[in-house]
Structures are given as structure tokens and as C-alpha cells.
Structure 1
Amino acid sequence: MSQILDYDNLNMLKEVIGDDLKSILESFNEITPTVIDQLEQAIAQQDAPEVRHHAHTLKGSAANVGAIALPSLCLEMENMGRAGDITHAADLFAQIKDSYRTLSDAVNQYITTEF
């Protein structure tokens, strides 16, 4: 299985900001399901600008916590929204949702073992 999190980057951040990293990671796992729901609703409503917006938000927050795969999936979704063609967004959304589940588990494991 490919790497889910950039652990070297997380460990460097932990050295720099200490226990604040735990709060950042916990916030990511608390807020992200709402963003994913908003993205799913935008896809269902065929609202390309909102798809772009929510994919962009998710891309940034995933990158900030050191996610490896999720940001690139979100960039692809963001580009679909920007182009106004979200015909295949539902298929990509399934990948995003699976990637987030895996990422969330990895983030929780990191929190448990490092703090």
C-alpha cells in the first residue's frame, strides 16, 4: 500500500509546533466530514462552482496535514469544477471518500501513537 501521510513532515511539524499539531490534526478530522458532505451535495446538484470550491478547500486542508494521495484527487475534482464539466465527478468522489477514510484512520493512529 502506498504511503498515506508524510510522516517526516508531520514529525518536523511536531518538533516546531509541539502539541498544537494534535489540535490541528483533530480539527482536520472533525471538520473534513462536513466538507466532504458539502462536496457530495454540490455534485448531486450539478453545481460545478461549488464542486470546485469544496474540492479546493479539501485539497488544502489535506495537504496541510501531510496527506499524500487526497490532495491530488481533490485537484482533479477542482479542475473538473473549474472546467464546468462534472460528468464523472461521482466516480472521483468515491475515490476521494475512500482516500479520506484511510487518511482519517492514519491521522488518528498518528495522534494515538505520538501524543
Structure 2
Amino acid sequence: MVKDHTFAQSDFDWQQLRQLAGEDVDFEAELLAIFLHDAEESLRQLEQAIAHQNIRAIEDIAHSLRGASANVGASALARAAHQLEQIARSGEMTGTQAQLQDLRSHYQIIWASRESGNNPL
């Protein structure tokens, strides 16, 4: 689980986002905003799926979040989503709550970095 984690270059590949946006700074900001909105919704859905012990939903949502995160360069979030996906695929609920907290930590780091302008772009 991530605790007191500070933003590191490996957490988010800003250059990947820039390339995805075609070097258009405004489009880049829009893509990041859409990603963060969708990721926040995925985290809410994961919370509900975990509360209802819906392993299939956990696996599906984590898989989707992993792909979206990887596409925009949110490497650490993608890795954490992959871990949750693997936990769900094993059929176990043990560890899902801790992994959800890890996902939230990575999400919050990206959000804070965006808000503070603490990114290399």
C-alpha cells in the first residue's frame, strides 16, 4: 500500500500524455481532466463492488481502469489496478480493500500534481 508517497517520475509519464494529445497543451489538459473524472467514477464503482463482494465487477472495473491509466501514462495507477484485477481473478476478496486504498493514493497523487502544476510539462 502507498503511504506518504511523494510524486515520482515513474508515477506518471507526462511525455506519454503529451504525445497522446499531439503536443496540444489544451487538449492534453482536457484528456487529463476526462481521465481523472472517469478514474474517480471507477474508484466509486470499485468501492461498491467490493462492498457487495462482486468479484466479477471488481475484475472488470479494475481491468478498465488499468487500460485507461496505461493509455494516458498513469503508470503507478495502472500497476495498482492490475494488482486488484489479479486479486479478483483469483476469486479472493482478501486484499481488495487495501488495494482500493492504494489506487486512491495513486489517484490523489496525480490529482494533486495536476492541481499544483507540479508536472514537467
TM bracket (short chain) = 0.7 to 0.9
Match of 1:79 in 2: 86
Q: How many Å separate the matches in 2 of 1:49 and 1:6?
A: 30
Deviations 1:68-109 (A, max 9, x none): 211111101001111211211111111111111101222445
CA contact (8 A) 1:5 1:68 kept: yes
Structure 2, unmatched stretches of 5+, are 1-5
TM-score (structure 2 length as normaliser):
0.80
Match of 2:17 in 1: 10
Asked whether the 8 Å contact 1:5–1:106 carries over to 2, the reply is no
Q: Quick check: 100-109 or 34-43, which moved more?
A: 100-109
Identity of aligned residues (%): 27
Mapped pair 1:97 → 2:111: no
The offset of 1:40, in angstroms, is 0.8
User: Partners in 1 of 2:80 and 2:119 — Cα distance?
Assistant: 27
Deviations along 1:48-69, one digit per CA (max 9) or x if unpaired, are: 0000011111111111221121
Cα drift, residue 5 of structure 1: 1.2
Counterpart of 2:18 in 1: which secondary structure?
helix
TM-score normalised by L of structure 1: 0.83
2:75 aligned counterpart, secondary structure:
coil
Q: Mapping of 1:4-83 within 5 angstroms?
A: 4-14=11-21, 16=22, 18=24, 19-83=26-90
State the alpha-carbon separation in 2 of the partners of residues 11 and 59 from structure 1: 19
Consecutive unaligned residues of structure 1, counting only runs of 5 or more, are none
Opposite residue 102 of structure 1, the aligned amino acid is: I
17-26 or 61-70, which moves further after superposition? Answer: 17-26
Instruction: Kindly provide the amino acid, as one letter, of the partner of residue 73 in structure 1.
Output: A
How many residue pairs were aligned? 113
Partner amino acid, structure 2, of 1:72: R
